[in-house]
């Protein structure tokens, strides 16, 4: 009997019969980046549209590079993933993505009905080695990288430059996104400020400056900033700002909007600036990795995420702004409390004066001061190593004393436990 059961169990394990992958959708997204109630709604909608069942397995990441290394190794069979622009470019160049099948039968194609022309043109600018990013990815949220600051301690003037992260007045009150590429891009804009003003450097070209000399200059700048930094954060900076534990946060606009709204309820005045030296606009988009096992459900997921009512709920839950240029979305985020902004680039040529939150939807004049990031290919490694050198030894002498004391305590505890066990064993043997 044993002889039959064991091989059978092994075979079951090997063929993965426990899980029918056509009924499972594995989604890998940034943390805090969705209204979680839309996940079961997708499952019901998918069944309604296709007559097929699907169960979503939803996992999250905080840093683009963590997500990428999992996919690159091919050990994970995620069906749909949400990387940022320069990572999408990298994935395209390394043939890691499948083209998106837009054939949804009788289900409407929400993707192409609603995509903002601005986002489409930014995706066109990605260099996918002959492949157009719009054929392989669909934008989800987008935004800017800027400075979130507490107006009680920081003036608008002080927050108008990236140099605020080296301003000693804010020592131990500064939080910086743990995102090497985003920080590098803003600091190189700062360092080349004069060359840009004199027309010697084009800011779009600047995003490809990866020489050892440029990386060293940013490293030196960031090592000075580090002396004042209270923390490198992936997601917790916004809370620190709301609680006034941080006064300055180099962050993304969506976290800025979330923090500004939360803080306002507690009477804290947080603001967001786009520094005068220029800044980057970023885009996160859905892609289907080549190791995906349920391509059909992945395409439907992307389509569902583009449906205007779902878009509105995700924006409201996260503070981030959707790539959707649908009129319903524009209406939902129009409010007379805001000054009009020129959003003709984003919605339609007629939208030159829309009363919308400028942190969510920057004015055309601001967008004209921005640029977008690109893949660095092999040079990425130099950046990652530089970043760990910058953050690396953030520990002071107390940290080392603490680590030493903790290790000593664990070793002593292990010795005591072992000695007791031996004593018990010896006395058992004696009995
Ligand atoms: N908590 C979700 C944050 C996602 C923001 N993505 C920004 C990427 C910038 N490169």
Model confidence at 355, in pLDDT bands (50, 70, 90)? very high
Q: Establish if 27 belongs to a structural domain.
A: yes
Question: How many Å lie between the centroid of ligand 1 and the Cα of residue 30?
Answer: 7
Residues 56 and 147 in one domain: no
Residues 372 and 291 in one domain: no
Model confidence at 74, in pLDDT bands (50, 70, 90)? confident
Q: Establish if 424 belongs to a structural domain.
A: no
Find the residues whose C-beta lies inside 6 A of ligand 1. Answer: 30-33, 84, 179, 182, 235, 252, 282, 284
Residues 271 and 407 in one domain: yes
> Looking at the 3D structure of the chain, how many domains does it have?
2
CA dihedral 103, 104, 109, 115 (to 10 degrees): -60
Residues 219 and 114 in one domain: no
Residues 123 and 169 in one domain: no
In this structure, the residue with its CA closest to atom 9 of ligand 1 is 282
- DSSP letter assigned to residue 289: B
Residue 177, pLDDT above cutoff 90: yes
Question: How many Å lie between the centroid of ligand 1 and the Cα of residue 227?
Answer: 25
Residues 242 and 301 in one domain: no
Residues 289 and 313 in one domain: yes
Q: Establish if 356 belongs to a structural domain.
A: no
pLDDT in tens, 226-273: 999 999 999 999 999 999 999 999 999 999 999 999 999 999 999 999
End position of a domain, from candidates 267, 295, 327: 327
Question: How many Å lie between the centroid of ligand 1 and the Cα of residue 33?
Answer: 8
Residues 181 and 287 in one domain: no
The CA-atom distances, in angstroms, between 134 and each of 32, 38, 202 are: 25, 25, 25
In this structure, the residue with its CA closest to atom 8 of ligand 1 is 84
Question: How many Å lie between the centroid of ligand 1 and the Cα of residue 183?
Answer: 13
Q: Establish if 28 belongs to a structural domain.
A: yes
Q: Which two tokens stand for residue 399?
A: 């940290």
Contact 179, 62 (CB under 8 A): no
Q: Establish if 343 belongs to a structural domain.
A: no
- pLDDT for the residue 390: 98
For the chain, first and last CA: distance in Å?
40
Residues 60 and 111 in one domain: yes
Q: Establish if 148 belongs to a structural domain.
A: yes
Longest Cα–Cα distance of the chain, Å, equals 93
In ligand 1, which atom is closest to the CA atom of 86? 10
- pLDDT for the residue 315: 97
The CA-atom distances, in angstroms, between 311 and each of 26, 108, 115, 307, 399 are: 20, 15, 11, 6, 44
Q: Which of 141, 238, 253 to mutate to test the pocket of ligand 1 (most atoms within 8 A of CB)?
A: 141
In 133-234, beta strands by DSSP E? 137-150, 174-177, 229-233
pLDDT in tens, 145-164: 999 999 999 999 999 999 99
Model confidence at 6, in pLDDT bands (50, 70, 90)? very low
Q: Which two tokens stand for residue 69?
A: 């290394």
Q: Establish if 3 belongs to a structural domain.
A: no
| ∠ Cα 84 188 225 (to 5°) | 95
Beta pairing, strands 340-341 & 354-355: antiparallel
- pLDDT for the residue 412: 63
d(CA 24, CA 288): 14
Question: How many Å lie between the centroid of ligand 1 and the Cα of residue 142?
Answer: 8
Q: Which of 178, 320, 373, 380 to mutate to test the pocket of ligand 1 (most atoms within 8 A of CB)?
A: 320
- The range of the structural domain enclosing residue 56 comes to 22-142+283-327
Q: What is the CATH number of the domain that holds 275?
A: 3.40.190.10
In ligand 1, which atom is closest to the CA atom of 30? 2
In ligand 1, which atom is closest to the CA atom of 85? 10
- pLDDT for the residue 22: 93
Provide DSSP, 368-410: TTEE-----GGGHHHHHHHHHHHHHT---HHHHHHHHHHHHHH
Nearest to 143 by CA among 107, 90, 179: 179
Is pTM beyond 0.75? Reply is yes
In this structure, the residue with its CA closest to atom 3 of ligand 1 is 30
Q: Establish if 12 belongs to a structural domain.
A: no
- pLDDT for the residue 61: 95
Interval 119-132 mean pLDDT: 95
Residues 262 and 377 in one domain: yes
Residues 264 and 291 in one domain: no
Nearest to 81 by CA among 98, 105, 104: 98
pLDDT in tens, 87-104: 999 999 999 999 999 999
Residues 48 and 108 in one domain: yes
pLDDT in tens, 288-299: 999 999 999 999
Better-predicted residue by pLDDT, 19 or 246: 246
């Amino acid at each position: 009997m044993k002889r039959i059961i064991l091989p059978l169990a092994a075979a079951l394990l090997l063929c993965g019969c426990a899980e029918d992958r056509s009924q499972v959708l594995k989604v890998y997204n940034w943390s805090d980046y969705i209204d979680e109630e839309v996940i079961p709604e997708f499952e019901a909608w998918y069944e309604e549209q296709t007559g097929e069942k699907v169960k979503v397995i939803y996992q999250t990441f905080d840093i683009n590079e963590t997500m990428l290394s999992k996919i690159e190794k091919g050990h994970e069979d995620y069906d749909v993933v949400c990387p940022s622009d320069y990572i999408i470019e990298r994935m395209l160049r390394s043939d890691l993505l499948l083209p998106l099948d837009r054939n949804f039968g009788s289900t409407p194609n929400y993707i192409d009905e609603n995509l903002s022309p601005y986002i489409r043109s930014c995706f066109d600018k990605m260099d996918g080695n002959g492949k157009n990013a719009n054929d392989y990815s669909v934008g989800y949220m987008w935004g800017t990288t800027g400075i979130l600051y507490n107006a009680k301690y920081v003036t608008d003037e002080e927050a108008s430059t990236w140099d605020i992260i080296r301003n000693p007045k804010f020592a131990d009150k500064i939080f910086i996104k743990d995102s090497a590429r985003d920080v590098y891009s803003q600091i190189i804009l700062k360092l080349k400020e004069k060359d840009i003003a004199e027309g010697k450097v084009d800011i779009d070209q600047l995003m490809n400056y990866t020489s050892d000399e440029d990386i060293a200059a940013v490293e030196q700048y960031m090592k000075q900033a580090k002396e004042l930094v209270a923390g490198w954060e992936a997601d917790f900076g916004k809370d620190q700002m709301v609680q006034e534990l941080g006064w300055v946060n180099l962050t993304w606009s969506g976290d800025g909007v979330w923090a500004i709204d939360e803080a306002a309820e507690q009477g804290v005045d947080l603001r967001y600036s786009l520094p005068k030296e220029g800044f980057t606009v970023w885009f996160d988009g859905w892609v289907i990795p080549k190791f995906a096992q349920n391509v059909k459900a992945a395409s439907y997921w992307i389509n569902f995420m583009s449906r205007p009512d779902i878009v509105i709920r995700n924006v409201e839950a996260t503070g981030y702004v959707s790539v959707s240029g649908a009129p319903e979305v524009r209406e939902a985020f129009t409010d007379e409390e805001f000054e009009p902004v020129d959003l003709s680039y984003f919605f339609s040529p007629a939208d030159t004066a829309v009363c919308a939150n400028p942190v969510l939807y920057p004015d055309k004049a601001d967008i004209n001061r921005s640029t977008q990031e690109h893949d660095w290919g092999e040079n990425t490694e130099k950046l990652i190593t530089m970043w760990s050198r910058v953050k690396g030894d953030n520990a002071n002498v107390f940290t080392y004393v603490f680590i030493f004391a903790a290790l000593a305590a664990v070793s002593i505890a292990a010795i005591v436990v072992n000695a007791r066990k031996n004593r018990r064993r010896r006395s058992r043997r004696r009995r």
